[in-house]
Amino acid sequence: MHTFFSRKARSFLLSILSLVAFTVFFHLYCSDLEESWTSYALKSGKKWPSIFEHDGKEAQQDVLSPSQPLVSSSLDNERSQLPTSTAGLDNMGMLLSPATPTPTAYKENEEGQHSSIVHTLSVVLPSTSSTYPTAESPKATGLTGAIVAAVGLATDLNWVTEIRDPMWKLHRYNYDDPSPPPSTYFPANGGNEAMMYLSYIINNYDSLPDYSVFIHGHQFSWHQEGDMVAIINDFRLPALDKAGYAPLRCDWYPSCPREIRPVDHDAVVWGPGVHREDTEYEIGRVWSTLFGRDVELPRTIASQCCAQFAVTRKAIQQRPKAEYERMRRWLMDTDLISDVSGRVFEKLWAYIFTREAIRCPPPQQCACEYFGRCEPKGWSLPPPGIEKWPEEFDHYVPDIDTTETMNATSRPQRYPPRKA
């Protein structure tokens, strides 16, 4: 009897051990199977049929559709075929994940109409490649950023989904929207992009992100240096932290370094000079209205063209909200056509955020410090009668590593100040 029970105990123990061994083997086999499937899916482009959120509800892995369809612009532009993303943007301006590229694009309108918002906001949609090499997608930093786009309802901004850093959130201001939502409210359609830019600042003054980038909505345009996706992806935020304001265009043509001479009216015109003289006289006339009677009118005002720039929260808030409201009130009350009133602000943005009347960093330094594009380039040279930047900046070498990330702590050397 004792022998019988010993055999039974040994048999039971062996069964338990066998079950444990089988469980361990099965777990290892399933883990290896999942790893193999993941590797296969990454190589082949396949995906699991669905994923589950924490509440147990099935959620499709595809990108959400926009709550309001985005329609391509058709403002007398020739069509071209460039690849673009079809990911959606919601009405509140939140940036969604990119989807599969599809070939649709438009070519920008004729040169010289860049300040008329109806013309300039026609968008050329994206190319999936950049002229310049790009780094890997950045890790989360806790920083916040806004892309403020002054556009029309018909403007397609799907290219924004190609911007790598998730910190950038789109704030879309449709100049032709008769009933804009409270988040993008503006009181009137006038002054081209200036009305939208000022309204964004006023609407968000007490909750501004760390950085704001103001654009017309083009991906490609004659007045910007390449793909706007690459411009934003390459932008060096440490340099912006130091400067407070930075243009998205580095070439001096046609604005630097002596475009507006509101006292002497003796500027040498470089470029088409569309409404330049009207704008110059108007700046002199309304200076005290915009900035107060105690602020002296500079003899020279100049900065890089063309009302697309990046600015820090600190730079915006160094002026009280009431000043921006006063500027917008003038824009609403003026009888000037938008092509002139908008140009008044186009020439003044750099001064508004820096209080520097001449804000013209040498092109090579600008490209290297702000965008990491330090390879020598043949920049447009000013015509006779307009001074060139110092020659040492033709082969500018920064005192920081321009490949460092936006979390870098070192700061770039400032360009030398120019006399007014």
- CA 232/CA 249 separation, integer angstroms: 12
pLDDT of residue 160: 97
pLDDT of residue 164: 96
pLDDT of residue 300: 98
pLDDT of residue 116: 33
pLDDT of residue 124: 32
pTM greater than 0.75: no
Distances in whole angstroms, Cα of residue 234 to Cα of each of 176, 334, 402: 31, 38, 10
pLDDT tens profile 249-276: 999 999 999 999 999 999 999 999 999 9
Half-sphere exposure of 147 (CA within 13 A, CB side): 31
Beta carbons within 8 Å of 26's beta carbon, 6+ residues apart: none
Intervals of the chain under pLDDT 70: 1-10, 20, 23-140, 399-420
- CA 114/CA 22 separation, integer angstroms: 72
What's the CA angle centered on 168, arms 165 and 171, to 5 degrees? 155
pLDDT of residue 67: 33
pLDDT of residue 397: 76
- CA 154/CA 306 separation, integer angstroms: 22
pLDDT tens profile 354-389: 999 999 999 999 999 999 999 989 999 999 999 999
